[in-house]
Structure 1
């Protein structure tokens, strides 16, 4: 699905372990891997300057990624000084990456408002999709489990679908990257006010919204299934991810600032609460 991945790690999020799994990432279709770490500018009474000692330690920790000597895959390690967001965006442009892999901590609305979120800010500014993974997920895996995960980062996607422009955009983005043939489950949740729909009305929703999305993916050569659920949208999507072999939940959102106000968006809440990886496509 993606070929040029930028793996951004703070060296405590578990993603630094992936330097040992370059062959498995290659088996999953990745052709270019860039491991990136940003080091804060060292505090200095005079002119601020890069922290040479931290840069050297980070380079040594990521260096095993360069030892695999595989044909047909380009592996690079970059350690730069500066603000993480700016360092990431420069790296995306430099390497022409087509997806960013990064860790994201569980946060509530209050901590985000007080301290901010690197994932949220990057999602607002990134020109390419982001795959956000919980550090707890990566850290808890054995090497055997992580080997399989690296081969199947995008194997089966769950797409929350409400027939909005954003959900249609997600389907279109997946369809145009169909070369790796992921499987997709398209799930629509009917919330309160729609519980009393008749069987005919539910079938109409399936026919008019989910079936066209499924057909679009199938026309691109992808396997696709559809499901209609009832209840709270966030709860049902998280439950659908648990009950099926889902690699990541895929959706589109600009995660604009208002999404982190008094009434947070669905995408923002999903990013906070899901233990499954979240594949965020930039909003159209």
Structure 2
């Protein structure tokens, strides 16, 4: 029934539940997940800045990690433009059967903007749209705590001293998950720490 499931993401906490739902649906129907992040411009977002594009890539990386963990095929894309227009264009161009997206952004104005994008998608899409609301509370809000958890998890897997692991940059939070980049003897490693449960998942990006 569903072969291609699109999960748009802005990297906000409100997309966490949509990722979970999207992966579950893809598992059920042996579908491919399409992770799309749009660097916004125009009346429904802010103009591109130095931080926006890296954040967009981290956002789709989060979905990629969850999909790979579940054994679900995944394709990622980052585009720039008006979010709802780019989402609808992507869905049409890639034969998407279903769109799964959140109804809440980060805080304040972002909540209004993300809600507006979702509303437009619901009204204008030619395929079913599943909307998901964030219902859980963020427990790990401090980047230092996220890094401590990530170091402990990586040290346990690699059998090294946590303090000897080299951090590549400060942790970033996206989709209610912290991404903590490290350099290890086996290459670059991104440890994903769930901001709700504290669970750590290790994604090795290089050999």
Return the offset for 1:240: 0.6
Matched residue SS, 1:235: helix
Name whichever structure is richer in helix by fraction: 1
* 1:168–1:213 Cα contact (<8 Å) kept: no
Change (3 A) 1:222 1:243: same
Bigger-Rg structure (1/2): 1
CA distance in 1, matches of 2:40, 2:57: 18
Alpha-carbon displacement from aligned partner over 1:146-198 (angstroms, at most 9, x marks no partner): xxxxxx2x221111100112212111223345243221111111112443649
Structure 2 distance, partners of 1:206, 1:251, is 15
Q: Distance in 2 between matches of 1:232 and 1:207?
A: 17
TM-score with structure 1 setting the length: 0.38
Contact 2:100–2:129 (CA<8 Å) still a contact in 1? yes
1:184 to 29, 33, 39: 33
How many residue pairs match? The answer is: 122
2:116 to 254, 265, 274: 265
* Structure 1 residues 197 and 216, CA gap change in structure 2 (3 angstroms): same
Deviation readout 1:219-271 (Å, 9 max, x if unpaired) = 101111111111100111111111112001111338xxxxxxx9862211211
The residue number in structure 1 matching 2:11 is 163
Structure with bigger strand share is: 2
Residue pair 2:37, 2:57 contacting (<8 A) in 1 also: no
Q: Counterparts of 1:242-253 in structure 2 under 5 Å?
A: 242-253=92-103
Q: Is this contact kept in 1: 2:10–2:56, CA < 8 A?
A: no
8 Å CA contact retained: 1:171, 1:213: yes
The aligned residue for residue 130 of structure 2 is 279
Gaps of 5+ in 2: 105-111, 136-207
Q: For structure 1, which runs of at least 5 residues remain unmatched after alignment?
A: 1-151, 255-261
- Among 55, 59, 77, the alignment partner of 1:205 is 55
- Does the CA-based 8 Å contact 1:159-1:186 persist in structure 2? yes
What is the aligned-residue RMSD (CA, Å)?
2.7
